[in-house]
Amino acid sequence: MPAAKFGLVPWVKKTIVEPLVQIIRRGAEPKQLAFSTALGLTLGLFPICGVTVFLCGMAIALLGNHCHAPSVMLANFVATPFELSLVIPFLRLGEFISGGSHFPLTADAMKRILTFRASREVLVGVFHALLGWLVASPFILAALYVVFVPCFKLLVHKFSGGGPPSSPKKQANPQAETKVKARQV
């Protein structure tokens, strides 16, 4: 597998999977985890790069105990590649809603942006992307919450000890413990 060869699988395990398992094992409610993760992903899709951390921080401060801060921040981190890939769809949605002209995504337009000759067009494009995100974000939040609630119920049940005992061998053979204790005395 090429992904394992370059260290992508260990990186994902270390930076996403292990923190998620730690969050789940600390005993948060599945609905709170689902809401916090959906909120972090939704805010993480904000179409202006670098602003999402501040948005998540403000949401955590405003919501207080109603959200789980580590889940919000982890989801914000996970949303970064999706944020970049959804800027254009949000831009087009905002253009459609406002009835504005399409922002050209051509080499000439990029040249004008890089030479600072397209400042008005860029600002209008940013406005359209923000409008698209503002319209889409409640639907994204609701859809993610509906999907995440059963997932987190299952994960919390699996990782928090709500299921069968984690080490059935210790309970299956209590005489082995007695023998060990007798030798230690």
Rounded average pLDDT over 149-172? 64
Q: Which residues contact 37 (CB under 8 A, 6 or more apart)?
A: 71, 72, 74, 75, 144, 148, 152
Distance CA 134, CA 119 (A): 22
Phi/psi of residue 156, nearest 5 degrees: -65, -40
pLDDT of residue 5: 58
Higher pLDDT, 30 or 167: 30
Percent of the chain with pLDDT over 90: 34
Q: What is the pLDDT of residues 81-128, one digit of tens each?
A: 898 899 889 989 999 999 988 877 777 776 776 777 767 777 888 889
pLDDT at 54 over 80: yes
> What is the separation, in whole angstroms, between the first and last Cα of the chain?
52
pLDDT at 53 over 80: yes
Rounded to whole angstroms, what are the CA distances from 58 to 6, 147, 155?
36, 24, 28
pLDDT at 179 over 60: no
Higher pLDDT, 174 or 132: 132
Distance CA 94, CA 90 (A): 6
- The answer to whether 125 touches 103, Cβ cutoff 8 Å, is yes
> In 10 A of CB 8, how many CB atoms?
12
pLDDT at 137 over 90: yes
Distance CA 58, CA 118 (A): 32
- The answer to whether 79 touches 44, Cβ cutoff 8 Å, is yes
